[in-house]
Amino acid sequence: MGVIFVLGSFMKAFVQNLGILNVVGYLVLGVILGPSGFDLIPKEFIHGSNFIIDLSLSLISVLVGANLRYDILKNMLKQIFVISLSEAIFTFLFISTSFYAMFDLMNFSFSSEYQIIAAMLFGGLATATAPATILAVTHEIKAKGKFNSFLLGIVAADNAFALIFFSFIVIISKTFIDSTSINFHLVIDIIKTVLFSVAVGITGAFISEIIDRVFKKNQNVKTTSTLGMIFITYSISQYFFLEPLLASLVMGVVAANLSTNFYLVKKEFDNHLKDIIFLLFFTISAMHLNISFLIQMPLAIVVYVFFRIVGKIVGVYVGSKLSNADENIGKHLGIALFPQAGIAIGLALSLQEITDFKTISSIILNIIIATTLIHELIGPFLTKTFLMKYCKYSKKR
C-alpha cells in the first residue's frame, strides 16, 4: 500500500500539470502497477482489498446523497425526480438493446441466456453517473446558481435510481440463471430489500445525529463518529444482504437534511480524506483491468460509450418536456452527465463476489474500467463547458 501512496503522489502532480483530473491518473497508475502492467502489486493484496473498496464506496455514496438538500432543491424536486427517472430508463433501454443486438459482433462467447443477463447488467451500470468527477468540476470553477444545484440534484437522484435498478436487475438475473420463474414473492423480496436498505440508512443518519449532538462542541470528534456510523451502516446492510450503497446514499440524504452542520463533515472529508480514499479506490479498481480482454472487444467499448450518452441526452430531453423544466436543461444537461467512475466500478466489482455471474463478471468489470478512462478524460470537459455556459461562477484566485 505504501507503493500506491508514494507513486500516487507523483501521479497526482503529473496529471494536474496536464490539466487532467486525478481520477484518470489513479486509474492509469492502477493499470501500470497491476497484472496488466509491471505486476508490482501482489495478487493477494488485489483480491483481498475488498474492504478498501467498500469503505470508499460508502463514503462516496453518502456524499452523493448529501447533495439532495430540501432547502436548496425544494422548488426543483419534481423536475429532478422526473428527469432522473426518464434519463435512467432511456439509458438502460439504449444500452441493453444495443448490446443484445450486437453481441454476435463483439466476440463474446456467452450463451443466449447470459447474453440477455449481460445486456441488462450493462444497462443497469450505464445509468450511474460519476458524482466525484462532477463535484470536482463544480469546485474547480466554483459554480453557483440554479443550473449547478439542479445538476448536483440530478446526479444524486440519478445514482439512487441506478442503485435501485441494479438491485432489481441482479435479483432478476440470478432468477434466470437458477431457472426459477419470476413470481409475486420474488417481487416482494426485491421491494423488501430496497425498503430495508432505506430503513437502515435512515436509522444510521438519526443515530449519527444523536451522537453528533453529544459532541457538538468538538468538531473533530463529530467527524470521526459520523465516519464510524457511515461504515457501520454500510456493514450492517452488507451483513444482512441488503443494498449497502443505497443505504449509504439514503443516510447521506437524511443526514444532510437533518443536521445544519453536516456540511462541516463534508468539508473535513474534502480537506483530509478525499484524496486518500479516491487514490486507493481508483488505483485498486484499475488493477483488475485485463488489457488482453480489451484488445479483443473494442466494439463493446464504443457501443457502451456512444449509446450511454445518447440515452442520457434523450432521457433528459424527454424528462424536461414532461416536467416543464427550463429549455436549456432539456437541451444541454444530458451532455454534462457524461462522466462515469466510482459507483459503476463499485457495482461491477460487486458482481465478482456473486457465483452466478462468474462467467461474465470479469468481462463486465474490464469494459466498465476501460470506458471509465474515456468518460473521465472527456467527461470533465463536457461538464465544465455546460456549467461555465449556464452557471454563475468565479475563477480561483
- In the prediction, which pLDDT does 83 show? 93
Tell me the whole-structure pTM to 2 decimals: 0.82
Residue with cell 451532455: 335
Going by the DSSP 8-state scheme, the letter that residue 178 receives in this structure is: T
Instruction: Residue count of the chain, please give it.
Output: 397
Of 380, 373, 364, residue with least CA distance to 123: 364
Q: Of 32-36, 66-70, 79-83, 194-198, give the lowest mean pLDDT range.
A: 66-70
* Higher per-residue confidence, 232 vs 194: 232
Mean pLDDT, to the nearest integer, of 209-216?
Answer: 81
Give the confidence band of 305 by pLDDT, cuts at 50, 70, 90. Answer: very high
At residue 395 the predicted structure's pLDDT band, cuts being 50, 70 and 90, is very low
Q: Which residue has the cell 463478471?
A: 361
Which range, of 31-45, 238-252, 383-397, averages the lowest pLDDT?
383-397
Q: Which domains does the chain have, with CATH numbers?
A: 2-390 (1.20.1530.20)
* Mean pLDDT over each residue of the chain, to the nearest integer: 83
Cβ distance 110 to 103 under 8 Å?
yes
Q: Please report the pLDDT score of residue 314 as a whole number.
A: 95
- The set of cell numbers assigned to 254 is 437524511
The percentage of the chain sitting over the pLDDT mark of 90, rounded to a whole number, equals: 21
Structure confidence at residue 249 (pLDDT)? 86
Give the pLDDT of residue 391: 67
Mean pLDDT of 125-150: 77
55-109 pLDDT per residue, tens: 888 887 887 788 778 877 777 888 999 999 999 999 999 999 999 998 888 877 7
Beta bridge partners of residue 392, listed in sequence order: 144
